[in-house]
Amino acid sequence: MAGDDGYPVANFENLMTDRLDSWMDGFVLAWSSNDPEHIRALFTDDAVYDPQTADGEWHGVDEIIERWREIDDSEENWDFEWLPLVETDDLAVVTGRTRYFEPPVSYRNLFVIRFADDGRCYDFTEWYIEEDTG
Q: Using a CB cutoff of 8 Å and minimum separation of 24, what contacts does 75-84 make?
A: 75/32, 75/33, 76/101, 77/101, 77/102, 80/28, 80/31, 80/109, 82/24, 82/109, 82/111, 83/12, 84/12, 84/15, 84/16, 84/20
Question: How high is the pLDDT of residue 76?
Answer: 82
What is the domain partition of the chain in residue ranges? Answer: 18-130
Round to whole Å and give the CA distance between 125 and 119: 16
> What letter would DSSP give residue 25?
H
Q: Considering only CA atoms, which of 111, 47, 98 is closest in space to residue 71?
A: 98
Give the pLDDT confidence score for residue 121 in this predicted structure: 97
Query: What does the pLDDT read at residue 16?
Result: 60
In sequence order, what are the residues at sequence separation of 6 or more whose Cβ sits closer than 8 angstroms to the Cβ of residue 5? none
Q: Report the CATH number of the 18-130 domain.
A: 3.10.450.50
pLDDT at 2 (0 to 100): 43
